[in-house]
Amino acid sequence: MEGMHYEGHCIRPPSEAQSILLQVTAGCSHNKCTFCGSYKDKRFRIKDEELIFRDIHWAARNMRGSRRLFLMDGDALIIPQERLVRILEEINRQMPWLERIGTYANAKSIKKKTSQELRELADKKLGIVYLGMESGDDQVLRDVNKGATTEEMIERGRKVKQAGIPLSVTVLLGIAGREGSLRHARATGEALSAMDPDYVGALTVMLVPGTPLEEESRRGAFQLPDQARILEELEEMLRHTRLSSGLFISNHASNYLPVKVRFPGDKDRALDQIERARKGELGLKPEWLRAL
């Protein structure tokens, strides 16, 4: 075999752009969110261990310049503990120079791991978990079929942090539509404050063809907020977010306005930046440049 073995599209967080991408699962264990079309072409399964180990060996020989590795696809944390530990041990044996291993997770997969198991993974260099919360509003979470309540999301996020693993949480601007926009923003800010993640990534929802949310939009049951409302939503969310020392960023390709906030000191500066954008004093990304 020459090169790494991948099935379908490779999806990873922006911060893992320079990482080795090791596909240990195909698809997402939940795969029911109404806004997401990322894994609709795959039935979820854990990949064959022999194939995973072959990829680890290839990466060890050919990607020695990389200091980080990311476990794909949508939710590698769902892998049973004994098997996941074997994978991490093989990664560390073959690539001892790695500084960090990362993975996506969801509320279900975090629930399945005990605190002791999470600490064991941290000892094996699992150095960041990415959790897609999307919203802190229970109605929105039900509407998008997220599979967890706000309280459960907060509890699972805290569980990761208490195990000593840095936590990155994704939230979605615009996911509540026009009607629920500011309610979603306030509730999400409060949930982030209660969870206190190390990183928050704010993306702006885009309608993906073939998804239930896109169908709702065509029927008129869901209306995307316009640029002005998205900026207002970002401002409202930030006003209600209080992190002990986390980083809040909206630099994803889907966003109209890139904002970077290091808590607690940068918050007022960022709110001023958003206010200037709302007044037209700062340019926004045009629609044709936005992407997932």
Q: Tokens for 134?
A: 């999307």
Q: What does the alpha-carbon distance between residue 204 and residue 228 come to, in Å, rounded to a whole number? A: 13
Contact 220, 41 (CB under 8 A): no
106, burial (CB in 10 Å: exposed 0-12, middle 13-18, buried 19+): buried
pLDDT tens digits, residue range 100-143? Answer: 999 999 999 999 999 999 999 999 999 999 999 999 999 999 99
Task: Indicate the DSSP class of residue 117.
Answer: H
Which pLDDT value is given to residue 292? 64
Task: Indicate the DSSP class of residue 47.
Answer: P
pLDDT at 89 over 60: yes
Which pLDDT value is given to residue 288? 65
Task: Indicate the DSSP class of residue 175.
Answer: T
Neighbours of 97 (CB within 10 A): 10
Regarding pTM above 0.85, the answer is yes
Q: Which CATH architecture has domain 14-282?
A: Alpha-Beta Barrel (3.20)
pLDDT tens digits, residue range 142-191? Answer: 999 999 999 999 999 999 999 999 999 999 999 999 999 999 999 999 99
Neighbours of 65 (CB within 10 A): 8
Residue (of 168, 173, 146) closest to 157 by Cα position:
168
Contact 67, 96 (CB under 8 A): no
| Count of helix runs (H) and strand runs (E) in the chain | 10, 10
Q: Where are the alpha helices (DSSP H) in 95-197?
A: 107-112, 115-123, 138-143, 150-162, 181-195
Domain boundaries defined on the chain = 14-282
Instruction: Give the torsion sign (CA, 83, 88, 89, 93).
Output: positive
Give the least confident one: 51-65, 190-204, 242-256. 242-256
pLDDT at 287 over 80: no
Task: Indicate the DSSP class of residue 48.
Answer: P
